[in-house]
Amino acid sequence: MLETCITSRTDISRIINELEQLSIQYTIQQYGIGEEHLAKYDISEAWKEYLFVLNGILYRWDNCFELLLQIKDEIKKISNSFNEDVIMCGCPTCDKLSYEFENLIVSFTKLNEEPTIINLTRVMSKDNQKQINDNCFKKEDINGLYWKLNLLRNRFAHSTPGYYSSNTTEAQRYMAISSRIFNVEIKDKNLFLKTSLINLSKNDYIKKIIKEVIIEKKFGEEESEKPIMDLLFSTKPRGKNKKNPTMVFINNLGFFDLNGDFLILSLQMFDYIKTQLEIIKSEFEDSIE
């Protein structure tokens, strides 16, 4: 998985370099070399704006990847090169990875936001416009990037209340749903950097709630407009000792692993980026005589 991510990341750099060359060719064809001209918003300008956002995303991913490699090197020394099963708390480097991962997820969604898509499609042919729009996240696709990223991003981009169990006898508050790595584990020579984030790919129950309540609206319009977390958890304690509720562990979220799950998600994000880049490349090629 690690090598596959490196290959995919290298492919993106290659396509970017090709696009930069095409952008130069396009500008020369449109305006000549060194000639004064009236600046117009065209595919070249849209590409410059898009590339700035994309480079910021790639910068954050590279930071995550370097920190992940650093953590692996640190753990190797403790676990005899992964030959011994180990369970331990996170470390300062783990916290840095969590922070960079949050930044990555928040910034990545910009590539699917309406302003970015409109800025690209308004200077494209109808065929390429359609391809860009077809590649966008689909809310109705329960297995697509829309919901996977939504459940992650909303934990980073917004403050959240405490979440409580439905126990009516003794107030119980769940541990925070966070990118913090609470558990580092070596098991069968595999590294797991466990967070309490929701990994939708591992949680069929949450998929079912999203599909039935939000997408299909089986329980009415009002329910479908509620935030997903409000459908899953209570935000008010119940029972005794509400002021100081007992802390309990959430065991059924499908904990997001900042090693394996991060790399799997990275490949999905890279595929999305590469599709966008190939469509932009096609637009440049069609515009150059």
- What percent of the chain has a predicted confidence (pLDDT) above 90? 57
- Asked if residues 171 and 245 have their Cβ atoms less than 8 Å apart, the reply is yes
pLDDT in tens, 90-123: 778 999 999 999 999 999 999 999 999 999 999 9
- Residue 166, pLDDT > 90, answer no
Backbone angles phi, psi at 258, to 5 degrees: -80, 15
pLDDT at 242: 82
- Among 255, 288, 277, 260, smallest CA distance to 14 is for 277
Chain centre to alpha carbon of residue 204: 19
Backbone angles phi, psi at 198, to 5 degrees: -85, 125
pLDDT in tens, 145-163: 999 999 999 888 777 778 8
Choose between 187 and 43: higher pLDDT.
43
pLDDT at 81: 64
- Asked if residues 46 and 123 have their Cβ atoms less than 8 Å apart, the reply is yes
CA distance 83 to 283: 51
- What percent of the chain has a predicted confidence (pLDDT) above 70? 96
Rounded mean pLDDT, 269-280: 98
- Asked if residues 259 and 68 have their Cβ atoms less than 8 Å apart, the reply is yes
pLDDT at 145: 95
pLDDT in tens, 80-89: 766 777 777 7
Both structure tokens of 166: 């439905």
pLDDT at 77: 79
State the DSSP string of 232-276.
Answer: HSBSS--SB-SSSPEEE---SS-EEETTHHHHHHHHHHHHHHHHH
Residue owning tokens 């499609």: 121
pLDDT at 289: 66
pLDDT at 152: 92
pLDDT at 248: 84
Report the range out of 67-76, 127-136, 175-184, 243-252 with the highest average pLDDT.
127-136
Cα-based angle 275, 9, 148 (whole degrees, multiple of 5)? 65
* Mean of the per-residue pLDDT values of the chain: 90
Q: Which stretches within the chain are classed as H helix?
A: 2-31, 43-78, 92-108, 114-121, 126-135, 145-157, 204-209, 221-224, 228-232, 260-287
CA distance 234 to 154: 17
Rounded mean pLDDT, 4-16: 97
Q: Is 172 helix (H, G, I), strand (E, B) or coil?
A: strand
- Among 160, 162, 141, 184, smallest CA distance to 238 is for 162
CA distance 265 to 248: 28
pLDDT at 174: 85
Choose between 207 and 243: higher pLDDT.
207
CB half-sphere exposure, 234, CA atoms < 13 A: 12
- Among 194, 187, 1, smallest CA distance to 82 is for 187
Of 9-23, 97-111, 209-223, 268-282, the range with the lowest mean pLDDT is 209-223
